[in-house]
A and B are shown apart, each in its own frame.
Chain A
Amino acid sequence: MIRAELLKLTTTRGPKIAVAVGVLGVAATQLASGWLLPAISHVDPDLAASVEEMATSSPEQQLAALNVLGGGGALGSGSVSIGLVAVLLLGALIATSDYRHGGIVTSALAAPQRGRIMAAKIGVAVLALAVTGIAYALVQGILVALAPSTLGAGGFSANWLEGADVLGRGVLTLLPLGILGLAAGMLIRSQTATFLVLIGAAVADVTAGAFLALVPATREWAGYTPLSLVSTATGPEGGWAAVLALGVLAMMALVAAVAAWLTLRRRDL
């Protein structure tokens, strides 16, 4: 069943486009903060402060910039990046393509217990997300290492292990995000509706996070919205906070996947 799901993934353009958009988004964000803004900073004196903030001269700045879902430390915290949306949609595509084109019936005829369908989809999603994450990490790592402010400061000076840790956590964080997209697709079925729900949820998360952070009584909770957890999991600080955030994201994905499986098991097709 996994081989069949892999064939489904590789014989259509949608997933490839989602990965390409994600990789280009990661690259474009890094190019904008590392190349474009410094190049035009002379136009507006106020821009110079932002450029200084986003520079990758020091080891700390370089580690912050390696966040694959942040696109540079200053752009990262709790925001919706192109790379993040692409990963959500990639997961959704793996689920909804079958419903859109009727392939779910063929799958259910081959595996009437349907648990194998869900397991195969999750397996293929993990594989696709890992490949996507590695592509993100390579692009991000190369662009940070070659950024003018990195080279101007004598090259990449952060600890390599710490750099690999930041990039690795970024890749791992993509997995629960993609599974959440997959589960949403299995539950909603309609491709367009799933995309709208996922993008809407991501935007609502940013708004909710900002609102929680503004109100003193709820300020503590602002760090527990999914996007804040993503930020903590992928951020340069790492440590137990990142592990905990990654664990909570994984639990969310697991709950969503179980809900999707139970629904698939009972659903008339």
Chain B
Amino acid sequence: MSSDSAIQIENLDKSFGSTHAVTDVSFTAAAGRVLALLGPNGAGKTTTMRILLGLVRPDSGKALITGRSYAEIQNPARQIGAVLDSGGLHPGRTGRQHLAITAAMIGQGRERVSAVLEEVGLTDSADRATSGYSLGMRQRLALANALLGEPSVLVLDEPANGLDPAGIRWLRQYLRAFATRGGTVLISTHVLTEVSLVADDVVIIDRGRSLVSGALDQLTSVQGHDLEQLYLSMTSTQSGPASMSSPNLLTESETLR
């Protein structure tokens, strides 16, 4: 593992019954950078993130954060913030109550709850039941939940889902600033335009396999494609995974940095 790899995924395999969710996925994410995990629905992005966060046991391989598995990290939510979906909210609780529960779990106080509510722009709606929240508000609350522990690593699964343009812009600026401060961001998304604006590195994953990874600017310049062309040529979202037979594309073993 390189010394600056905050996240290391190595030869990860996971099957659910006869379904191979993840097959030999490997990549690393460096501190101070935003890594975007790209892939079509069912590609294995969420399973990879859940394994990284200790929610799913891999059949084989390693998923480490700062050299340790999630379960080995003391009070991990103080170091790693995660958004896995905008669910996980009891409709009868207020946004503030949800955050207070997480804060109690990780040893944070009420001041921090108020601070993250302010940070994500939910202060005015904090004392309303989440049953009345829009998808964007739920997503902001999920982000607030991830930020409660003042983490240095963020693992975000489709965090822009449901956000309005102002919210997306805020998220982009937040993630860039987070990485500039030395934080590590692993983000999965379908929104390629956002990736090109926020990510330093990309990993393209399809059918449970990581196909290519590297610095975004190098990948697109070496391939002579823009990100969309690269993504479509690598994944099975078109007529088929032409990627692996395409002679001028880099495979996982030819990772760029």
Interfacial residues, chain A to chain B (CB-CB below 8 A): 1, 3-4, 7-8, 11-13, 97, 101-103, 105-113, 266, 268-269
Contact = CB atoms under 8 A, between A and B. Distances in A.
B101 A4 contact: yes
A108 B55 contact: yes
**At the interface, is chain A mostly helix, strand, loop or mixed?**
helix
Given A268-B50, A269-B55, 7 more contacts: A7-B101, A8-B90, A11-B101, A97-B90, A102-B87, A109-B53, A110-B105
B179 interface: no
20 contacts: A1-B105, A3-B104, A4-B102, A7-B100, A11-B90, A11-B93, A11-B101, A12-B93, A97-B90, A106-B101, A106-B102, A106-B105, A106-B145, A108-B54, A109-B82, A112-B70, A268-B16, A268-B56, A269-B50, A269-B55
A179 B93 CA distance: 25
Interface string B38-66: 00000000000010011111000000000
Interface in B159-193: none
Contacts of B80: 109
Given A4-B101, A11-B93, A266-B57, A110 B88 contact: no
Contacts of A109: 53-55, 76-77, 80, 82
A105 B55 contact: yes
Nearest to B84: A105
A111 B107 CA distance: 12
A109 B44 CA distance: 20
B54 A112 contact: yes
B1 interface: no
Interface string B95-114: 00100111011100000000
Contacts of B75: 110
Contacts of B84: 105
B88 A11 contact: no
Q: Most A CB atoms within 10 A — which of B57, B93, B94, B101? A: B101
Given A1-B105, A97-B90, A113 B71 contact: yes
A268 B90 contact: no
B228 to A, nearest CB: 32
B122 interface: no
Contacts of B106: 110
Contacts of B77: 109-110
Candidate in A11, A107, A111 with the most chain B CB atoms within 10 angstroms: A11
Contacts of A110: 75-77, 102, 105-106
A110 B81 CA distance: 10
Contacts of B70: 112
B82 A11 contact: no
A103 B92 CA distance: 13
B89 interface: yes
A122 to B, nearest CB: 16
A247 to B, nearest CB: 34
A8 B76 contact: no
A39 B46 CA distance: 65
A101 B56 contact: no
Contact of A12 (B16, B55, B57, B90): B90
